[in-house]
Amino acid sequence: METFIKFTNQSQGRDRIFRTTQYACTLSKYLLRNNSARKELVVKLQGLESNMSSGRKLFRLGNTVDSMHAAKRTLQISDPVLRLCLTVANLNRAFYFICDNLLWASNVGLVNGIDTERWSLNASRFYFLSLVMSLTRDVYVITQIMVQRTREREFQQKMNQHLDDSPDVATVILPQLDAFLFLLIESLTSHPSVALDTLKNMCDFFIPLDRLGLFRSNPLVLGFCGLISSLLGIVCVLHPGLKIKP
């Protein structure tokens, strides 16, 4: 109970609960769409989904400033690839939240005369670019881990050859597919934070792709991917050690 209270007291925790509920409603609506006996339930799910979306927009009013501060922090990263990916990702997230805040203000009547369709597309574009850079960071980190593990294996093999008085022969061999997959799986399982972040970003990736018309999906795919991503987000909030760093 203490963990639940601590989780719900965090703005990120509340947002994850709302997001999980929102995409659970999206998925449930699609699964019940042809059930005539559940039409009333589908209508209720539609209303709940809309309320969760509006609630999340309200929670995100301060996220623009957080993203700008995050971009400022990532400028201090020594690795140039990580610095570029994370800074650009955070800046795009900040622009996404600006668009999202304007849409929220328009929906509640605080701002009039804005083209909501245009700003919604702009928000999806910034969200898409943020995810592209986040996934690029994930791929880069995974590659670094795989290279490190390969070097460790080569060093161990050379040590074994030296102990066995075998000739020291340095060869470079392109790994076969099964060896590559084994190394990839081994690298991900040894770094669960990287695996969770990669899976989360891959699930989220389908959402802006559909909204921008780059890859059309149905509510089943969007609801399922959004739900999985939200649950992974909850896990990372509950267990900060599973959140990828930097």
pLDDT for residue 175: 47
Q: What number of other Cβ atoms are within 10 A of residue 91's Cβ?
A: 19
The pLDDT assigned to 1 comes to 66
Q: What is the pLDDT of residue 153?
A: 79
Residue with tokens 């639940």: 4
State the Cα–Cα distance between residues 83 and 88, nearest whole angstrom: 8
pLDDT at 9: 67
CA dihedral 93, 94, 98, 103 (to 10 degrees): 20
pLDDT for 164: 59
Q: Whose structure tokens read 């509006």?
A: 54
Looking at residue 152, its pLDDT comes to: 82
Do 200 and 229 meet the contact criterion of CB atoms below 8 Å apart? yes
pLDDT in tens, 21-60: 999 999 999 999 888 888 999 999 999 999 999 888 887 8
The length of the chain in residues reads: 246
How far is Cα 54 from Cα 33, in angstroms, rounded to an integer?
A: 23
Contact 56, 21 (CB under 8 A): no
For the chain, what is the domain count?
1
Residues of the chain with pLDDT under 50: 166-175
Strand segments (E) across 31-164: none
pTM above 0.75, yes or no: yes
What is the DSSP-derived secondary structure letter of residue 243? S
Cβ-contact 146, 184 below 8 angstroms: yes
Report the pLDDT value the prediction gives residue 181, as an integer from 0 to 100.
86
The parent domain of residue 87 ranges over 2-242
- pLDDT at residue 167, as a whole number: 46
Rounded Cα distance between 195 and 146, Å, is: 13
Determine the pLDDT at residue 163.
59
Say what the pLDDT of residue 121 is.
Answer: 95
Running DSSP on this structure, what letter comes out for residue 33? T
pLDDT of 178 reads 77
